[in-house]
A and B are shown apart, each in its own frame.
Chain A
Amino acid sequence: MNPLVALEIPWGLLLVIKVMVILAIIPAAALILGYVFLMKMMSHMQSRFGPMDPGGFHGWFQLIGDGIKFIQKEDIMPAEADRRIFALAPAIVLISTFVVYAVIPIGPRLVAEDLDVGIFFALAISSVSVIGVLMAGWASSNKYALLGALRAAGQLIAYELPLVLAVVGVVMQAGTMSLQGIVGAQASGEIFGWGGIGNPFLLTQAVGFVLFLAAAQAELTQTPFDMPVAESELVAGYQVEYTGFRFLFFQMSEYATAFALAAIAATLFLGGWHVPGVEGTAADVLGPLVLFAKIMAISFLIFWVRFTYPRFREDQLQMLAWKYLIPISLLNILATGIFKVAF
């Protein structure tokens, strides 16, 4: 199945290669999103001059300069901090992001691990980051950090349900939880008997797509659900005591998770790597590019909302989740079930 197996690479080496690739993806993804959306799109939307300036063309040097700045900074640890947990927290957040990438397929044969419960695994693992956030908030021994961490924990319950329930519709329609299987189901689908572009679940699961994006926004702690970091209220929430490289970890994982969630959304609703009419090795080459384009389109939505909307209050988020998102997602499941049985 796996092409690399055909080359008879020993299992251990294969694992190392996979890990290295995924490890490289995280900073790359964070850089891409940070550069394209955080720096350029934001600068254009908000008429900022600063990030457009360094290095000449469109301020290409800004992000590199930021990186250098973070690395240079002194690693400050509060005197009262729980030192080990404080140091561990950014790593936990980053690891949860890292593991999500393992199950995302970028081509017919290009996936680190094609799990049978791929989507379930991805969603479960991505919420592990909340534990890291809680650890960071608690270990910082800072009241702002603690409030931020508690908000993040409260938010988890509110958004994780609609996130999972939004995916259930897709899983029901595809009949599998494997991400490869979901891509395959979309590729082989037909729109009213026409199979030209397959059947992206966006068409049948539009409600699920919107719910997924809304919940993903909350999972990423992006505006309008950025209460855990809320810079005007809690200064920076759980990140307030972190500096330098540890802070960079949080930032990187935030953007890498955005990239990963956009990839999952693209896989679930937009047909993933599937290119109509392209099969085999060509799909392995074209697939990643197509997926990347879809990821960027979804990321654009995520960041567009982020730069436009004000922030909810914590209780208003809970109300939104329990009164609207969850009932709607349940109705969506019901409707999907009826259609599944009827057709």
Chain B
Amino acid sequence: MSDQQSDDAPQDPAEDAPEAPDAPEETAAAPEPAEPAPAVLPEHEGWLAALAADLGDDIVEAVSNHGDLVVRVKREAWHRAAEVARTRLGCEYLSFISAIDWLPRPDPPNWDPDAPSAPVQPKEMTFGAAGGEGRFQVFACVESTDDVTQVILKTDVNEQNPSVASWTDVFPGADWHERECWEMYGIEFEGHPHLRHLYLPAEFEGNPGRKDFPLLSRETKPWPGLVDVELMPGSDEEPAEEASA
């Protein structure tokens, strides 16, 4: 390999620079590449079997996604899934609990969907790994610190009255994660000792994490990637012209 003197990079970055002008303007992403095979990787089969031994039919779907085992369980089995993962798989370490709102986001005003790099999301509701049923999905990641076992658990919750069992009695750390999730997505955790605001002031109304909750800065101003030029007041005629127009 290169020695200490490789300091002055011998290669010419211009050769294969990413922004070479001849690069295709829009390589609109190889169409749906390597959508994770619905099968489970061989190394995950053992974990899934251990989960299935207890959860049985409560496992709706399980896939291996980029090296992670993603298991979707029924809402009723959410709490038991945590217990099983903890006892059967030794996943004593709670990484996170959060939620996904699969609703396509309404575009903010002034939004220019034709701009070349505007992050325009598709308008139909699609689901990620291990599928989904409704708008809200709660997902969590538990890990084992003894080996590489790591399971991502998902469950669908009702859109009208989103609620799911709390994990606080299995993982004490679930407390804050569930408070955050409740605050951001409005998902009730049954059995949580005290659901109260974590980040936001106690009197805050609404669930900012939901897709239909507008991001105010983008409501008032188009996203910063496009037009981000504010003329100094009185320094140019252009705004005046616009105002008169």
A–B direct contact (CB < 8 Å): no
